[in-house]
Structure 1
Amino acid sequence: METPGRTASTPSSPEPNRPNDEARGPRLREIPLRLMVPNLITVLAICAGLTGIRLAFEGRYELAVAMVLLAAFLDGIDGRVARLLKATSKFGVQMDSLADIINFGVAPALVSYAFLLHNAKSIGWIAGLLYAIAAGLRLARFNVMADREIKAAWQSEFFVGVPAPMGAMLVLLPVYLGFLGVEPSPLFVFASVAYTVLIGYLLVSRLPVWSGKSSRIRRDLMLPILLAVVLYVALLMSYTWEVLSVTVIAYLCVLPFSARAWHRRYGTITIEDDSATV
């Protein structure tokens, strides 16, 4: 049955002097430029990680490692920049998660394989795969635990397992030693394979690792600590591979003390996570 005054074949025309919103399409909403800065840093981090992979397969290993470490640094500061600029967003969180698996998992594994692990052939490739997958699992567990509405008291002081950014730095230790002149003998190659698997295990383990988030510094120690940081950076620029090697070894030596501090403070409380649901 037709409506009086309107035929079935003739659509009603829009009223005069009223814009037709459907014909114009959706309106584009402008956003402040500061909201783009964290996402731009994340994109640059992805570019650095992928460039490191390319340089490794071109045989420019020192530049490749430098690019991977730069990617890890950029990927580590983008979230802090977002919070500082009040530019956090769901899009940025998803973008950062995708960048993390490249920069902390895939890039270090491929650089290590191209430089050294390929000498172990399939075993070296399997070790690289295990590390990359472990990094992905570690990041997924971190995201799940970070989304909890109610967090345990220890989460402000300890990570569950070695954090992925540090894992990327740790797994490249055999590469640093190679730059320092260690020959790729069969013993060194297979020891590096076992070391890569070990770092992957530390990523997905439930080892309590001190995070330093809730640390406080006495005012009288601020200047000495700043001078120590300046000295560390100066040594890093001058003796890059030596300083990185010492840093990695020192960090590994601190892990047992971190677990000991956990047990002293929280006893035998079981660290629970939601990794089974990921």
Structure 2
Amino acid sequence: MKIRITKSLIPNLFTIMNMFCGFLSVINSSEGNFYYASILIILAGIFDAMDGLAARITKSASEFGVELDSLSDLISFGIAPAFLIYKIKLYSFLEIGILISAFYLITAALRLARFNIQLVGFEKTHFSGLPSPLGAMTVASFVLTFYDNSIGHFVGMSGTYFVFIAIIIGFLMISKIRYEAFPKLTKEGLRQNLLLTSFMIFSVIVSIISEGKAIVFLLIIYILFGFFRSIIKSTVNYFKESFSK
């Protein structure tokens, strides 16, 4: 039997690595290795970005790749962070904890489903609602920054705050707040959104200098920027409509 290897294999391999990292994250969470579980979610996010980049470089974007990517994202950015949240803190809330962690998973699934039906072509300039990879990476970066695995609790912040953060991220994922997509790594793509390009470069430099500890704060800046911009835009549009009547 002849095995046919196509260009789409390259981006699909990155997608599979994304899925594999999500699966390993669940295993590590179940064993109480929350540090490694969080690292694996971050790695899944990197592979998720690389599969899209590889698809553009090889010009091999396909509907199969989109569906595989969505299924992988549900594991890595829905199931893995929801289980991490439950095992690290929510288990102590008993049934309420199960419902809250399930809420995170459900909102991630709804976010991915909405993205799939709104996707036109394979390129995107913005997102409606916080992207599930960024939501999951925010949860993971909070653990990496504030959770001490050796003593088994949060340092510098209350674990209860972490629960509220997870709930807020869930609501942001199913919201209609506009978040800009990161620019394509081409001259034209980088020039089209200089502000976001500058933020990306700044984030990489700061993350390296801080040895990754600043990632959570950079993600919060991105989330809050989209949130407040949406509020300001809605307020301006409201007054415009009011004065035009």
Contact 1:46–1:103 (Cα < 8 Å) also in 2? yes
Contact 1:124–1:193 (Cα < 8 Å) also in 2? no
The 3 A distance-change label for structure 1 pair 198 and 31 is same
Contact 1:120–1:190 (Cα < 8 Å) also in 2? no
Aligned equivalents of 2:114, 2:204: Cα separation in 1: 34
Q: Note the residue ranges of structure 1 that are not aligned, 5 or more in a row.
A: 1-26, 269-278
Aligned: 1:198 with 2:171: no
Contact 2:85–2:163 (Cα < 8 Å) also in 1? no
Q: How does the TM-score come out when normalised to structure 2?
A: 0.78
Range with greater deviation from structure 2 (245-254 or 132-141): 245-254
Aligned: 1:46 with 2:16: no
**Equivalent residue letter for 1:208:** R
Aligned equivalents of 1:163, 1:118: Cα separation in 2: 26
CA shift at 1:226, angstroms? Answer: 8.4
The CA deviation string for residues 146-200 of structure 1, in whole angstroms up to 9 with x for no partner, is 1389x9xxx73x4211111111122335523223989559x93433333222211
Aligned equivalents of 1:123, 1:94: Cα separation in 2: 32
**Equivalent residue letter for 2:147:** G
Contact 1:210–1:258 (Cα < 8 Å) also in 2? no
- Name the residue aligned to 1:216: 191
User: Aligned to 1:59, which of 27, 32, 36?
Assistant: 32
The CA deviation string for residues 196-229 of structure 1, in whole angstroms up to 9 with x for no partner, is 222111100112223354763799xx9x878745
Contact 1:163–1:203 (Cα < 8 Å) also in 2? yes
Secondary structure, aligned partner of 1:159: strand
Contact 1:208–1:262 (Cα < 8 Å) also in 2? no
Contact 2:18–2:44 (Cα < 8 Å) also in 1? yes
- Name the residue aligned to 2:49: 76
- Name the residue aligned to 1:168: 136
1:59-208 alignment runs, 5 A limit: 59-147=32-120, 156=125, 158-172=126-140, 174-175=142-143, 176-179=145-148, 183=153, 188-208=158-178
Aligned: 1:37 with 2:10: yes
Aligned equivalents of 1:110, 1:96: Cα separation in 2: 20
Aligned equivalents of 2:43, 2:10: Cα separation in 1: 17
Aligned equivalents of 1:230, 1:184: Cα separation in 2: 26
Range with greater deviation from structure 2 (209-218 or 160-169): 209-218
- Name the residue aligned to 1:275: none
- Name the residue aligned to 1:235: 209
CA shift at 1:262, angstroms? Answer: 4.2
The 3 A distance-change label for structure 1 pair 227 and 128 is closer
Contact 2:177–2:227 (Cα < 8 Å) also in 1? no
Aligned residues, how many? 228
Secondary structure, aligned partner of 2:147: helix
Aligned equivalents of 1:115, 1:51: Cα separation in 2: 16
% identity of equivalent residues? 28
Aligned equivalents of 1:227, 1:128: Cα separation in 2: 34
Aligned equivalents of 1:117, 1:75: Cα separation in 2: 27
**Equivalent residue letter for 1:246:** F
- Name the residue aligned to 1:255: 226
The CA deviation string for residues 118-141 of structure 1, in whole angstroms up to 9 with x for no partner, is 222222221111011101110111
**Equivalent residue letter for 2:130:** V
Aligned equivalents of 1:260, 1:207: Cα separation in 2: 9
CA shift at 1:258, angstroms? Answer: 2.5
Secondary structure, aligned partner of 1:59: coil
Q: Note the residue ranges of structure 2 that are not aligned, 5 or more in a row.
A: 184-188, 239-245
